[in-house]
């Protein structure tokens, strides 16, 4: 680990604060049962911790979009899975792990609003990166942490080619970490290819 961004305790404290803020906002509206819409896969650990601190009765749902290839954004956003619930006339809170360039969230807000027609649409994020490469200065209604850290981060939903979303904290990996993870991925690729060869002949 090169640098710790958020510890387990800090994440819990942030979720407790955000939960109270979301409760206060939802209590103002009373438009039926609100929906928390987690952005797969990265925001799911955040959403599942956050919901523990929200007292308002709500439903959980997910949407899946892609704009990253490995560790960098492609700049093109695609929807891979839509929500399972009807969002029409509902209060909807998009739960996302990070706003970086703003490209994904700008697209997502417009897509959800224009496609599913919620009554109110809010955004809750764990981390707002003060990025020099911001394309859309998307502001969240509820923000956990603002940071100037520009390096790639891992843990608590943030991944390195799919690895280590399950770490309960957020950190900047070291060069040593990256090398070790590369070896894990290479070994996994070999085992997968071996499995395919063994089963393709059957």
Residues with active-site annotation: 100
Structure tokens at 47: 């959403």
Q: What are phi and psi of 15, to 5 degrees?
A: -65, -35
- Which CA distances in Å does 64 have to 38, 71, 83, 95, 110? 8, 17, 9, 12, 15
Residue tagged 């209060």 (tokens): 91
Residues 43-66 as b/e (b if ≥16 CB within 10 A, e otherwise) read bbbbbebbbebbebebeebbbebe
């Amino acid at each position: 680990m090169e640098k710790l961004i958020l510890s387990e305790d800090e994440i819990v404290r942030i979720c407790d604060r955000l939960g109270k803020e979301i409760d206060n906002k939802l209590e103002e509206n009373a438009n039926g049962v609100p929906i928390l819409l987690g952005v797969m896969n990265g925001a799911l650990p955040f959403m599942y911790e956050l919901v523990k601190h929200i007292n308002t009765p709500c439903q959980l749902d997910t949407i899946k979009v892609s704009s990253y290839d490995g560790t960098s954004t492609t700049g093109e956003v695609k929807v891979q899975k839509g929500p399972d619930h009807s969002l029409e006339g509902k209060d909807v809170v998009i739960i996302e792990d990070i706003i970086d360039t703003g490209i994904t969230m700008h697209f997502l807000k417009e897509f959800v609003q224009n496609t599913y027609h919620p009554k109110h649409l809010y955004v809750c994020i764990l981390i707002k990166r003060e990025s020099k490469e911001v394309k859309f200065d998307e502001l969240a209604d509820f923000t956990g942490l603002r940071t100037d850290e520009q390096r790639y981060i891992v843990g608590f939903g943030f991944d390195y080619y799919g690895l280590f979303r399950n770490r309960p904290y957020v950190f900047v990996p070291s060069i040593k970490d990256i090398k070790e993870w590369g070896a894990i991925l290479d070994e996994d690729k070999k085992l997968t290819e071996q499995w395919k060869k063994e089963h393709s002949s059957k």
